[in-house]
Amino acid sequence: MYEVKLETRATRQVGKLDPHIKEVVKRRLREALAPDLHRYSFLSGKYSGLRRVAFSTPAGEFRTVFTIREDKRRVVVLFVGSRENFYKELQRYLG
């Protein structure tokens, strides 16, 4: 079993959501990552070491970028956001 850890930025992004949607996002994130982390595809280009997962909520589609730290058996969620402008915001955050 892998521990799921949110980076500071991801924690802030989730914290800004409506309380009900925040709980749905957290639950869907755990559900998506728990069964098989390695099934999610890698991003391309300069973010090629990162993986992406998408899931829907009552508030719309959300996407998450994460990395797997095998040595610590940990999933590190780097970025969480709605589908709209997701990659533009990701690029602004990661540079």
- Stated pTM of the model: 0.84
Can you list the pairs that 11-18 forms with residues at least 24 positions away whose Cβ atoms lie under 8 Å?
13/79, 13/80, 13/81, 14/80, 17/59, 18/59
- Measured in Å, how far apart are the chain's first and last C-alpha atoms? 31
The domain in which residue 20 lies consists of 3-94
Q: How far is CA 60 from the centre of its chain?
A: 15
User: Which residues are CB-neighbours of 78 under 8 A, at least 6 positions away?
Assistant: 7, 9, 10, 50, 65, 66, 67, 94
Q: How far is CA 70 from the centre of its chain?
A: 17
- List the chain pLDDT tens, one digit each, 95 residues: 788 899 999 999 899 988 988 888 888 888 887 778 888 899 998 899 999 999 888 888 999 999 999 999 899 999 998 899 898 999 998 87
Q: Give me the CATH number covering residue 18.
A: 3.30.2310.20
Structural domains counted in the chain? 1
